[in-house]
Structure 1
Amino acid sequence: MSSLKAATGVLRTTLARAQEERGQRPDLVDGPDGPECEWAAYERARMHEAVNAIRAERDLPAIPVEDFIRVEQLAVGHSDYSRKFAFYCAELAEK
């Protein structure tokens, strides 16, 4: 199995687990573009941590949050957001 495919699977699982906790985070918080749902910020933080953990395992430097938010925006609005977001994050983890 390719490392990109494996990383996508790990990140898809990470996102799914974070999404299961949405009901525990009903508030609004400050986000990169203004107020946003607390659960969205939580999911982004978990994914950012997971990407950087994969990179650390490969002795790669951490991805800055700005690069991470850029790829997140590529997935926003798609019906398959979770799949796209996990894949784009895997690409970040690998580069």
Structure 2
Amino acid sequence: MSSLNAATDVLHTTLVDSQEERDRRPELMDGPDGPECEWASYERGRMHESVNAIRAGRGLPAIPLEDVIRVERLAVGHSDYSRKFAFYCAELAEK
């Protein structure tokens, strides 16, 4: 299995696990594109942490949250949002 596929799987698991906690974060808050549910920010933050953990393990510098926000926007609206978001984050982790 390629390192990109492995990173995608790890990040997809992180995202799915985070999504299972949505009912614990129902409040609205300010997000990068306006008001959003607190769980959206939480999931994005977990993905950011996970991407940077993978990068650190490869000796790469941390990336800013804005990079994760950018790739999340590419995944929004797709029927396979979770897998696409995980894949795009894996690309961030690998470069």
TM-score by length of 2: 0.97
CA RMSD of aligned residues (A): 0.6
1:66 aligns with 66
Paired residues, number: 95
Q: Identify which range, 28-37 or 76-85, moves more after superposition.
A: 28-37
* Shift in Å, 1:39: 0.6
How does 1:1-95 map onto structure 2 within 5 Å? 1-95=1-95
Q: Over residues 34-83 of structure 1, what are the superposed CA-to-partner deviations in whole Å (9 max), with x where a residue is unaligned?
A: 21000100000000000000000001011111111111100001110001
SS in 1 for 2:47: helix
2 CA distance for matches of 1:74 and 1:63? Answer: 17
2 CA distance for matches of 1:17 and 1:27? Answer: 19
- Matched AA of 2:60: L
SS in 2 for 1:35: strand
TM-score by length of 1: 0.97
* Shift in Å, 1:6: 0.4
Q: 4+ runs of 1 displaced by more than 6 Å?
A: none
1 CA distance for matches of 2:66 and 2:24? Answer: 26
Q: Share of identical aligned residues, percent?
A: 81
